Amino acid sequence: VSYILTSGLLPFSEPVLLLICLAFGTSVGLINAFFITRLRASSVIVTLAMTMIVSGVVVSFSQLRSPGDAPMLLRQIGQLRVGVFPVALLVWLGLLMPAAIFLRVSVLGRYIDAIGANPQAAWVSGIPYVRVVTIVHVLSSLFAVFSGFLLIGFVGVGSMDIGRDLALNSLAAVILGGVTFGSGKGGVLGPTVAALMLTFSFNLLTSLGLGEPAKLMLQGAIIGVAAAAYSAQRQS
């Protein structure tokens, strides 16, 4: 997303570039869903493989033209404030709250919980597994694109390294927020609070001069403790 918007390699207007990014995110979600639902591949492996492929494509194209300034529209959104609150935070909350309510009260949300708890049981019980997994992966990709919009607008310029650590941060926030892998337990509120806590903790570590090494150790500790807890739970 950062490279598409800031490289100038595609000679289109800013609204068209935003639509191209959304179309690209949709295609990534559809490809991931195809491998997971049709070929029965591991979702984790497919996601990691797609991440490496897309990163390789961006690095290859970056040899033609380096990233530049972010579009003015995104910079206005990313750096504008309403009182003391950044507009990016308000946009995030505007997407978060409806999504949390929808997942709690809708049939699709119940399907997602059932598939997360036991995919095979959900399949044999008649839940539209392929359709639900496809929708979830497409929405996940689109949310990632919107996150990229906000991040690029806040930073103001494109970068090859922007967002590189967000995958581990997201995983750590989900685990710290109480979502249990393989059980379907958890919700949106826990990871939301955990994401805010991790962001505050990382900023605090940076202000103390610890920076990236401390962030990596904290991420690894959270994921390692969660893996040990999940293993102990399965054995019990």
Residues 137 and 34: their CA atoms lie apart, in Å, by 10
> How many CB atoms sit inside 10 A of residue 80's CB?
12
pLDDT one-digit tens code per residue, 105-129? 899 988 988 888 788 888 888 899 9
Closest by Cα among 97, 131, 98 to 115? 131
Task: Say yes or no: 178 and 190 in one domain.
Answer: yes
Same domain, residue pair 62 and 124: yes
Taking residues 220-232, report their average pLDDT: 69
If you average pLDDT over residues 174-181, what whole number do you get?
74
What total of structural domains would you count in the chain? Answer: 2
115 token code pair: 């598939």
Claim to verify: residue 92 and residue 75 sit in the same structural domain: yes
Q: Do 192 and 157 reside in the same domain of the chain?
A: no
Range with the poorest average pLDDT among 76-85, 136-145, 178-187:
178-187
Q: Does residue 172 share a domain with residue 98?
A: no
Question: Three-class SS of residue 157?
Answer: strand
110, containing H or E segment: helix 107-117
> Do 172 and 156 share a structural domain?
no
Burial of 173 (0-12, 13-18, 19+ CB in 10 A): buried
The burial of 91, by beta-carbon neighbours within 10 Å (0-12 exposed, 13-18 middle, 19 or more buried), is given as: middle
What percentage of the chain exceeds 90 in pLDDT? 13
List beta partners, residue 157: 69
pLDDT recorded at residue 184: 58
Cβ–Cβ < 8 Å for 91, 26? no
Report the predicted TM-score, pTM, of the whole model to 2 decimal places: 0.79
Domain that holds residue 143: 1-162
Query: Which of the four pLDDT bands, split at 50, 70 and 90, describes residue 33?
Result: very high
